[in-house]
């Protein structure tokens, strides 16, 4: 099965990453994608942090 590579930047550092986490980090905030490094910073001791899933750059192509 072929794999297609996609690109998406981190909301905070703007660097593309092969794995990003979909999160909310403000009380009335929108969903954003963050890389593992930035995720560590915003999730720690944040009462408004909500995890919404993992995005991966390499996803199997549907047949």
Evaluate if residue 45 carries a pLDDT over 70: yes
Q: Which two tokens stand for residue 3?
A: 């794999």
Distance in angstroms (rounded) separating the CA atoms of residues 20 and 8: 8
Check residues 54 and 59 and name the one with the higher pLDDT.
Answer: 54
The pLDDT confidence band at residue 38, using thresholds 50, 70 and 90, is very high
Q: Which two tokens stand for residue 34?
A: 């963050």
Centroid of chain to Cα 44? 16
Domain ranges for the chain: 3-60
Class of 3-60 in CATH: alpha beta
């Amino acid at each position: 099965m072929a794999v297609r590579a996609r690109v998406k930047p981190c909301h905070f550092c703007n660097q593309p990453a092969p794995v990003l986490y979909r999160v909310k980090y403000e009380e009335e905030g929108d969903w954003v994608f963050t890389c593992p490094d930035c995720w560590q910073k915003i999730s720690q001791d944040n009462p408004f942090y909500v995890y919404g899933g993992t995005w991966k750059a390499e996803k199997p192509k549907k047949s």
